[in-house]
Structure 1
Amino acid sequence: MTRDETTPEHAPDATLLDVVVGLRREVAEIAFVLDTPGTRAARPVRRTVLERLDDHLLPRLRELSRPAVVVVAGSTGAGKSTIVNSLLGEEVSKASVLRPTTREPVLVTHPDDAELAERLDLGEAVRVEHAGVPRGIALLDAPDLDSLMSSNRETAARLLAAADLGLFVTTAARYGDALPWQVLADAKERGASVAMVLNRVSDAKLAEVRTDLVARLREHGLASSALFVVPDEGAHEGLLPAASVEPVSRWLRRVAGADQARTVILRTLRGALDALVEQTATLVAEVEAQADDADALRAAVADAVPSGLGDLAEATVDGTLSTGAVEAAWLAAVDAEPGILRPVAGPFRRPRKAALARRAELLGAVTTRIRETLVTQVLAAARTSSETIGERLGELDDKLPGGAALHEAVGADGALAAWRDTTVRAEVSAWLSSVADAVAALPAAALQAGDRGLTRDGLVAVATAAAVGVASAERVLAGVAGAAAGDLVDAARTELVATGRHIVEGEAGPYTERLDRPALAPEAVTGLRLRLAELRRQVRAR
């Protein structure tokens, strides 16, 4: 059976309240951190769910004994305040062309309901007690929905979302505007009961306007909504004749009858719960989709990372790292001090201190060039990897939602270039230190031989040059260290490639850091999915 006016009503219990409180907590923790078409659509859904939970569902579930809130809403000049005052037979809400500047809504309750009405969370509403309000309801005159002041518009929209019943006031001249129908559609979406007051209708236009309006209500799925027509009284001040608003007053008394106000509240709650189930299901689906998108983006980043490593590894193996500035520095050192090539040649004769110092100075320049060259080469490899990741994500943006936005976010990180430069320099320094450690670990005899023509730092410079592919430096190192020289060079080259790989793979870091957030984990949806299942069980049981 479809849910209509005859469907039995059931009061929510503590179990339902517990489920909705838990659901609210899970929805609040959702974070749509990727920028995809799905997350862009889901963010306003999340915001709407939280607003409706906070403004209406949770307050109503916590205390059903409070008066049903009837929000009187409409556009500027529709006559809302005049309608409210006329229903009460006294001016309690100022009616004026200046009304759009009024910030505070006006809440009117029966004196016997005042204590219960105090529990209504309606912000800064001006509270008025009046015996003309039927027991069981509270009339709330809201600011204009199209007020020039954005704060008034926001307040009016929030109050409508909190309403148990909406009484929308429009005029014969403006009922065709988009605003009334948007308000009615929103109310229908959240399951709220709504009625319409068509104000200032002339006798000549009554039949035509009423027929057209009824057709529009039917077209929008609102055929069961109450419709009241208030005659045009012409230019006047003060209250409308009691007879003009009597149909509205009679309807309010019926709504406020013994059990009717509670029935209205429960019916609105039920509709709101149905809408909540649907919207939560939408959020669950998008949280899951976001986690899937994050997995796909991680895989794309991982595939693109090694792109910068090839040139560096090849240059290390084939010796091209030593060309250019490194080779020039080595040749300059040899030209200035040919003895470098013969550190242990001929009969034993320790070089003079001046010669040793000269060799150390020249070889120090070689080490400096090697450091600079390695920093340049490794930085280039890192940038190539980063650029390839960006290109891959951009090319696949249609298939990988969020890829282009992710690359843009990483590229906008002003600290990334400095981080890369610092990291590369530190890693190159660490590699140079490892070569020095390997030289220090050579057999004592080799080091003694080195002392005959090279200082310890000079021998480290030779070993470093040999590791980056300077052939004559390899021969010098072999003359000093013998068979151990080959093992040292091989190990240094292997470690250099590993260092390059570590740096290049580190380019994935700025991307994976943004993808390894808890909100993008597969289990991020678990709690929300569980609450949705619990909510569905509760709603089906009612």
Structure 2
Amino acid sequence: MTTDDPSAPDPTALDALADDLRGVRLPFPLDGAQEGRGDVDAALSQLADHVRPRLESLHAPLLVVIGGSTGAGKSTLVNSLVGRAVSRAGAIRPTTRRPVLMHHPEDAAWFEGPRILPGLARVSEGSADAVAGADASAPVPAAAGDEAAATSLALAPSTAIGRGIALLDAPDIDSVSSGNRELARQLLRAADLWLFVTTANRYADAVPWEVLRTAAARDVTVAVVMNRIPPRPGVAEELAADLRTLLAADGLEDSPLFLVEESALDADGMLPPAASAEIRGFIDDLARDSVSRVVIARRTLAGAIGALAVSARQIAEQVAAQEEQRARLGEEVAVAFAAARERIDQVMGDGSLLRGEVLARWQDVVGTGELIRGLETAVGRVRDRVVRMLRSEPAPAIAAENALESGLVQVVLDETGRAAEQAEAAWRATASGRMLLEGRDLARLPDDLAARASAAVRAWQGDVLELVRAEGADRRAKARILSLGVNAVGVALMVVVFASTAFIPTGLEVGAGAATAVLGQKLLETIFGDEAVRRLARTARESLASRLDELIGSRAEVFRDRLAEEPAGTGAEQLRTDAARLEALAARLGDPRTSQGESR
């Protein structure tokens, strides 16, 4: 049987919500995250079990789910309405382990497939009508175990049920079996109409009212049965008045209320026909009135969609909290490694590297005798000294490069390790970060980091030498570079880069590091000129920064990769958009003018 209804509203908004809910990820252990996951599952179940199929088939048989508390006499009532024991009744709990769906035989096609409750396998119980020679009092065997209760649905066709309506016997909402409790709530979410059974002794219990308040919030059509009323004058009226007051307080004042007095059961375990006659008449009237069935279906559907919109917004808040947590964790990593880069830049620019071994090797290259007495007049003599030294012994320039490499690599390793430790410490301060770090040591530097750092610095030194060669392409500069040696000129440029982020003014003579940098700058100016030296130093520094960014970024990426292992999924804003579309759909379904047009 096709279930398509040409008058049904467009289900696109529902499909979009389902797709987006399936993409929701709530990986971080934040307050409410577990409840949020449950809300996602419940919403998807609601969509598949009731909302989507009902929207497509507004004229499909009305599904009446009969639910109630443990010991309320629900199964006895169901059997009495059908005239045969289709639901197991007894003192041992839980009694209803597998839900039973009773329908008219000619409505079978609506329920045999996965149109509603697609997650429950169909089990045929055959005809529920009395068969000659059969024991009509024998209860349908219950499936063993809680798991079976959550995976199968017994179909029981019966001519005792009018066309256009179906009765679904659900497990107890407060069953001792957790599987049954969840199944009961799932079936109630699939209902077009709830027939809620309680007793004179337990109608004010907390669990039933939690369920009834949920019905009121979703604008579900509810009929209430108060069972086992003591057959004493005035008791039924008194209890009914109190129950109606409670119903009205929760917005259910229009709910039909049926009163069933305590009665002796017959030999087959059934109520006397008069005890259930009013309920029987209510169900038969619905079976005969197609317009009323569609009105009820639309009202419950509109309420369910409105409730889904509320749920989508609540889930969106959980997703937003997860997004904020993800951003915070990522920011902690970014801050730690950005601070490391700043500290490295500071070391590279404050002359700290131009001390110790580096200073000694640079002085081997240029000599120091004339340095402090006056750089302006000494540049020529220093250049001559460099030429003489390089002609006989080129090693000092190479040694200076190696010293610079060694010093910079050590700074990079120290600061990168410090950043990793800071990032890990920041993560360990939160439950979400601890979850990400569980079983991992992200702060540990990889064994090959020193080798990669050395390779990056050497590659940068190669960049500097290429800059020198390219800048010295004209004949005059080339001759001067050749006279000094490319490596010596390159080392001079490296010294200038490591001296200051700003260009060193001529004549700055404060400390050996600054003095060596000034000398390097003056030496370069005699070859390339003032503006060219500024440009070369800036280009060389940018090249080094790029290589260090890549190297240090690879360590930060370890943290980001771990964060990415917990996918972000559907965004909060998308869920809010879905909620707005559902609110519009619910409003259309709840519009009486639309309802009248589609009920004809």
Tell me, yes or no, whether TM beats 0.5: yes
Alpha carbons 1:518, 1:524 under 8 Å: kept: no
Residue 26 of structure 1 and its aligned partner are, at CA, apart by: 6.5
Q: 1:349 to 1:246 in 2, by over 3 A?
A: closer
Query: Which stretch of the first structure deviates more once superposed, 107-116 or 438-447?
Result: 438-447
Alpha carbons 1:312, 1:377 under 8 Å: kept: no
Cα distance in 1, alignment partners of residues 584 and 82 from structure 2 = 46
Residue 363 of structure 1 and its aligned partner are, at CA, apart by: 3.4
Q: 1:533 to 1:217 in 2, by over 3 A?
A: closer
Alpha carbons 2:13, 2:578 under 8 Å: kept: no
Match of 1:366 in 2: 403
Match of 2:478 in 1: 444
Within-5 A mapping of 1:445-460: 445-451=479-485, 460=490
Counterpart secondary structure, 1:107: strand
Residue 516 of structure 1 and its aligned partner are, at CA, apart by: 12
Matched AA of 1:266? R
Match of 1:467 in 2: 497
Counterpart secondary structure, 2:288: coil
Matched AA of 1:369? S
1:231 aligns with 2:261: yes
**374, 381, 385: which one aligns with 1:345:** 385
Cα distance in 2, alignment partners of residues 193 and 333 from structure 1 = 90
Matched AA of 1:67? P
Cα distance in 1, alignment partners of residues 411 and 165 from structure 2 = 79
Alpha carbons 2:258, 2:278 under 8 Å: kept: yes
Deviations 1:148-183 (A, max 9, x none): 333222221111111111111222332222111111
Cα distance in 1, alignment partners of residues 105 and 178 from structure 2 = 33
Residue 198 of structure 1 and its aligned partner are, at CA, apart by: 2.0
Residue 188 of structure 1 and its aligned partner are, at CA, apart by: 1.9
Query: Which stretch of the first structure deviates more once superposed, 442-451 or 342-351?
Result: 342-351
Match of 1:400 in 2: none
Alpha carbons 2:63, 2:167 under 8 Å: kept: yes
1:142 aligns with 2:170: yes
Alpha carbons 2:362, 2:400 under 8 Å: kept: no
Match of 2:283 in 1: 252
Q: 1:21 to 1:333 in 2, by over 3 A?
A: closer
Cα distance in 2, alignment partners of residues 55 and 82 from structure 1 = 26
Matched AA of 1:17? D
Deviations 1:476-499 (A, max 9, x none): 686588433944445434554676
Cα distance in 2, alignment partners of residues 413 and 458 from structure 1 = 50
Matched AA of 1:150? S
**88, 93, 108: which one aligns with 2:87:** 93
Cα distance in 1, alignment partners of residues 227 and 408 from structure 2 = 84
Cα distance in 1, alignment partners of residues 24 and 358 from structure 2 = 57
Cα distance in 2, alignment partners of residues 429 and 300 from structure 1 = 31
Alpha carbons 1:27, 1:528 under 8 Å: kept: no
Cα distance in 2, alignment partners of residues 347 and 32 from structure 1 = 68
Whose helix fraction is larger, Structure 1's or Structure 2's?
Answer: 1
Residue 519 of structure 1 and its aligned partner are, at CA, apart by: 5.0
Alpha carbons 2:5, 2:57 under 8 Å: kept: no
Alpha carbons 1:76, 1:147 under 8 Å: kept: yes
Query: Which stretch of the first structure deviates more once superposed, 359-368 or 131-140?
Result: 359-368
Residue 113 of structure 1 and its aligned partner are, at CA, apart by: 2.8
Alpha carbons 1:111, 1:131 under 8 Å: kept: yes
Cα distance in 1, alignment partners of residues 77 and 168 from structure 2 = 12
Deviations 1:372-395 (A, max 9, x none): 24414763896699699x79xx9x
Query: Which stretch of the first structure deviates more once superposed, 176-185 or 224-233?
Result: 224-233
Residue 213 of structure 1 and its aligned partner are, at CA, apart by: 1.9
Matched AA of 2:299? R
Residue 248 of structure 1 and its aligned partner are, at CA, apart by: 1.8
Counterpart secondary structure, 1:203: coil
Query: Which stretch of the first structure deviates more once superposed, 102-111 or 508-517?
Result: 508-517
Match of 2:349 in 1: 317
Q: 1:530 to 1:495 in 2, by over 3 A?
A: same
TM-score normalized with structure 1 length: 0.73
Match of 1:222 in 2: 252
Matched AA of 2:63? V
Cα distance in 1, alignment partners of residues 310 and 521 from structure 2 = 75
Deviations 1:264-310 (A, max 9, x none): 32332344355456666x47986998899799989999997976665
Cα distance in 2, alignment partners of residues 350 and 428 from structure 1 = 24
Residue 447 of structure 1 and its aligned partner are, at CA, apart by: 4.0
RMSD value over aligned CA atoms? Answer: 5.1
- Residue segments in structure 1 that go unaligned for 5+ positions in a row: 1-10, 395-403
Q: 1:294 to 1:78 in 2, by over 3 A?
A: closer
**217, 227, 242: which one aligns with 1:189:** 217
Q: Percent identity?
A: 29
Match of 2:540 in 1: 492
TM-score normalized with structure 2 length: 0.66
Match of 2:464 in 1: 435
Cα distance in 1, alignment partners of residues 462 and 38 from structure 2 = 55
Counterpart secondary structure, 1:114: helix
Aligned residues: 507
Q: 1:291 to 1:407 in 2, by over 3 A?
A: closer
Matched AA of 2:385? A
